[in-house]
Structures are given as C-alpha cells and as structure tokens.
Amino acid sequence: MKAKLVLEDGTTFSGESFGYERSISGEVVFNTSMVGYPESLTDPSYAGQILCTTFPLIGNYGVPEKKLENGIITNFESHKIQVQGLVVQDYSEQFSHYTAKKSLGKWLCEEKVPAITGIDIRALTKILREKGTMLGKIIVGEEEISFYDPNKINVVEDVSIHKPITYGSGSKKILLIDCGVKNNILTNFLKRNVTIVRVPWDYDLFSKDFVHNDFDGLFISNGPGDPKMCTPTILNIRKAIEKEIPVFGICLGNQLLALAAGADTYKLKYGHRSQNQPVYIVGTKKCFITSQNHGFAVDEKTLPPDWVPWMRNANDDTNEGIKHKTKPFFSVQFHPEANPGPKDTEFLFDEFLKVVK
C-alpha cells in the first residue's frame, strides 16, 4: 500500500508501507548505525519517536526468536517494539541469518507498528540536521492524523514497570530506577553477581513500607523524553545524594543526576543516535567509541561547584558524563552496556560496584 512521511514543515516523502497498515505520528529522528535494528527498535528510549535508519539496507538478516535468561529477554532490549514507526530507504523482504525466524515486516505487523520504505533517507537526514529534529507522521492510505509531540508528556511513565521486581541474589543490593531500562543493563549487573531491585520511575525509595530501602547503591536507567518531566525521580535521587548512597546513571540517568544536583538540561538540535560516537575523558586524550541514543544533554555551565564534567563528545563537545569531586556519584550520557555497539566502556559497571560497600 502507498504511504508517505509528512514533516511538520510540510515536507513530504512518498513510499510504500511494509509494516502494519495504519497512520502514526511522533518525533522524527535518525540513527546512523549499520546494524542492530532488533535492539534499536526495542529500546525504550525511542518511545514516541519515528525512527529513520540512514544505513540503506534494512531487514536483510530478519528477526530472531526471543531468548530468555533469568527472566530477561537477552537479544532484545525490552518486551516489545518501542518506536512509533520505522522509515527506511530499502527494505529487504528476503532475509538470511542462522538465528532469523521471521521477516522484519512480519514482526512489525505482529506488533502493529507502521513502516515505510522507498524514502530518500539522505535528503531526509540533511533536513533534520539543518533544521533540527521535528515532528512528523507516517500516513498509510487515506487515513489522516494530527501531529503528536512526545516531549510534551511524560513518556517515561509509559515505559517504566508498575511494581518492583527483584533479580539475582548477590551480596550487593543495587536499586535500579526504571525509566525505560534496556535489558542488557540488567544482564550486565547480573553477570557481576549482584541483587537488582527494579522499581518504577516514581517509586518512593525511602518509604518505611519499602522492604528494600536498605539498598547499597542506586542506578538510574536510560529512558525517553524530557528529563524535567520526571520530578519524583529527581527528588528521590536528591535524597540519595544527601544520604551519600553511591549513584550511577546512564543516558537519561545522566540528565536526571544533573538535575538532582542542581544543574540544567537542554534539548539537542538533532541528538546522538548511533554506535560510533567518540567520547573522551575531560583533561586527557583518552577516547572511547560508544553507543548512544539521546535527544537531551546536560548544560555543563550550570553544574554546581562540587561537580565536574567527566566526559565530552569528540564531535561536538557536548557533555557525556558528570561526577562529584569527592563523593561516589557519577553518570554517563552514552551506553556502556551497548547492545548494539562496542563494549569499550563496559568497565564502568565494575567502577560503580567498587564504590558500593
């Protein structure tokens, strides 16, 4: 069926539907990764967004079956496709891979996610780079819909769990604030033999009724949308800082830790979404290649005196991490757990556990 992508400035791209045949709207973003579409599509940080893949050939290795380990799906980043819709240049109906069980198109149809192929992705990406990320909609057939802006609502509430879940039985207990946590973050903690208590984004961590309020360290997960929408999370993190509980944040967790410390955040023009973002440690020449997916960043100029920029992006010098000068509070804007992407910075999980007593 014929389909089209319409941007909020009126720009229209025509193509064909290869996913679920319905119209959808959201924030249009691009990802420059070459592989990893099953992981990217299931990443909760993409909730509310229409994902455009700049690599031209998508679908050629199909979609695998879900693999469960310790109650966690290990080859997808959540239990379902999280994007609003998918936009590609060339969808491959024929797929070949030893793990593949279905086509990308079939998977999208099963999960009722629309997708469009035949789009000039190069032209689309140049528009988004020059004008910035904008709202858009995939129109399938004659169904017309309104634009939807995920940044004006609390998308985190939609992707977080609703009641606490415990994993593992290690001696160290890590309380994980779920703002849309990727499954591979859970896996990375579990293989380091810790107990993870995963709680909703707005859970009262210090309630007398909470049986796990004796946790040893606090982890703040990745997630979608504007961090300033997560007021209860920010207040909880602030209490943890006051109690000097070790804190580690990833992606949205970096922004939330900064807000809890008293700093500010802002929206990037078009964000960082890829598996090859270079990040360097401030004051050194040490650089890592990282996996990233975010549209907001920490404003370093607003960091309080006891906090310092830890890492920066080598492409545009935006903040990629903060830390306290003397206390065990730190966070990074990228994904050390990767999946997809390089594992250069996975050691950060070990660095966190070193300061957890």
3-state DSSP helix/strand/coil percent for the chain, to nearest 5?
20, 35, 45
Residue 207 pLDDT more than 90? no
Question: Strand 247-250 relative to strand 217-220: parallel, antiparallel, unpaired?
Answer: parallel
Q: Where along the chain do its domains lie? A: 2-152, 156-355
Query: Which residue in 52, 179, 230, 251 is the catalytic one?
Result: 251
pLDDT digits (tens, 9 = 90+) for 105-128: 999 999 999 999 999 999 999 999
The confidence score (pLDDT) of residue 106 equals 98
Question: Letter for the amino acid at 162?
Answer: H
The answer to whether 16 is a known catalytic residue is: no
Residue 290 pLDDT more than 90? yes
Residue 213 pLDDT more than 90? no
The answer to whether 186 touches 72, Cβ cutoff 8 Å, is yes
**Which fold is adopted by the domain 156-355?**
Rossmann fold (3.40.50)
Name beta bridge partners: 290: 277
**Rounded to whole angstroms, how far apart are CA atoms 266 and 227?**
9
66 DSSP assignment: P
Query: Which residue in 27, 39, 77, 337 is the catalytic one?
Result: 337
340 DSSP assignment: S
Nearest residue to 331 via CA among 356, 348, 355? 348
Question: Token pair of 335, please?
Answer: 């994904």
Run of H or E including 119: none
Helices (H) and strands (E) in the chain, counts: 8, 23
Alpha helical stretches, state H, the chain: 37-41, 104-110, 121-131, 156-159, 183-190, 231-242, 252-261, 347-355
**Rounded to whole angstroms, how far apart are CA atoms 98 and 88?**
23
The answer to whether 324 is a known catalytic residue is: no
The answer to whether 251 is a known catalytic residue is: yes
Q: What is the mean pLDDT of residues 196-220?
A: 92
Omega prior to 340 cis, within 30 of 0: yes
Q: What pTM was estimated for this model as a whole?
A: 0.97
Report helix, strand or coil for 17: strand
CATH class, 2-152 region? alpha beta
Question: Strand 57-58 relative to strand 173-178: parallel, antiparallel, unpaired?
Answer: unpaired
